Chain A
Amino acid sequence: MEIVMAKSIMNANNRIAERNRDRLAEAGVFTANMCGSPGAGKTALLEGLLPKLNGRLRTAVIEGDLATARDAERIEAAGTRSIQINTEGGCHLDAGMVAQALEAIGLDALDMVFVENVGNLVCTAGFALGEHLRIVVLSCTEGDDKVEKYPPMFRNADVVVLNKVDLLPHVRFDVSRVERELNQLKPGLPMLRVSATGGEGLDDLADWLVARRAAWKNSAVTS
């Protein structure tokens, strides 16, 4: 006997992600899922970006790593509320872990939450967390072949942040190749260039995020 199922394996995670998304919308908390390789500069980007958002958005950060609270400590040291999820070997965050973290962090008096995912260009791509914005951080020291090698990650992105642009003169990285391949994978996907440690592009990224949150808020009010 044959039983036809035709169901996505991600259904269970997606249902929890939808619940997170609704809950965050109710609380008016715009949420970004930050993905990228280990060493792309996700935490450094937050350290550079969060002070730029001070006084404009009230933010908190959920950090995901296999082990240690190192990243959450860095964010707290930079003056932003943060909690750490340890996946104990898991290679990605899932919506259930984020639901618990949202419970712990509390959504009152917040405008935006950044979820820094486990550093990984593969496994994090398929797991929705309930975010309203997927940010992929790509650094030019990783090489310009990452879009071709890891298409699902970039297909699911809403914005690509190209980090370490201050190092472009010193590394082999063809920005136009990345732009061409992103256009083939997802036409219109924006790419912003920054240097998390040098500060270049961080004001523009902060403005962009404030505008995206405002647009999200407006669409939630009218729908």
Chain B
Amino acid sequence: MHETSLIGEMIRMVEAELAEVGAHGRVTEVALRLEPLACASAESLRFAYELLTPGTVLEGAALAIEQEAPGARCRTCGRRVEEARLGQSCAACGSEDVSFEGGGEVIVERIEIETEDARLSGQGSD
């Protein structure tokens, strides 16, 4: 449910970024990256995005979400455990001393803007 506050903050960040770089033009896409332990659901983020973006600079822009898979490493034999689950032992040596890796941040990676020039050249090629 805190996904609504995350999307609200994302809209403020994108507005601030556009003002800072002095960019004009329609935003066509905004890309988010969820680190493995980010406590946010992609589905809820999309729902909040549909709800909150109308009337903002992100109205009509696509939302791209990249979800990083969790990883882990065995502290006994040093091997990487793929598709890690908490409580799981190391498949190679059986040790329970497995360490989970990865952060918990939600990162605003980039925005795509359709500039005036791009629109004009797009029209020109029709």
Contact = CB atoms under 8 A, between A and B. Distances in A.
Nearest to B105: A8
Size bracket, chain B contacts = 35 or more
Given A3-B21, A9-B6, A126-B38, A156 B106 contact: no
Contact of A9 (B10, B18, B111, B112): B10
Interface centre among A90, A92, A184, A187 (most CB of B within 10 A): A184
B87 A177 contact: yes
A7 interface: yes
Interface in B48-66: none
Contacts of A7: 13, 107-108
A85 interface: no
A5 B2 contact: no
A153 interface: yes
B25 A1 contact: yes
A148 interface: yes
B2 A126 contact: yes
A104 interface: no
B102 to A, nearest CB: 9
B107 A6 contact: yes
Contacts of B39: 122-123, 125-126, 150, 152-153
A9 B104 contact: no
Nearest to A124: B2
B2 A123 contact: yes
Size bracket, chain A contacts = 35 or more
A125 B104 contact: yes
A12 B9 contact: yes
Contacts of B5: 90, 92, 94
Interface string A1-33: 111111111111100000000000000000000
Contacts of B109: 4-6
B118 A185 contact: no
A155 B37 contact: yes
B115 A123 contact: no
Given A10-B9, A10-B105, 15 more contacts: A1-B23, A1-B25, A1-B112, A3-B18, A8-B107, A9-B10, A11-B13, A122-B2, A123-B2, A126-B104, A148-B86, A151-B100, A180-B87, A184-B99, A185-B100
Interface of A: 1-13, 90-92, 94, 122-123, 125-127, 147-148, 150-153, 155-156, 177, 180-181, 183-185, 187
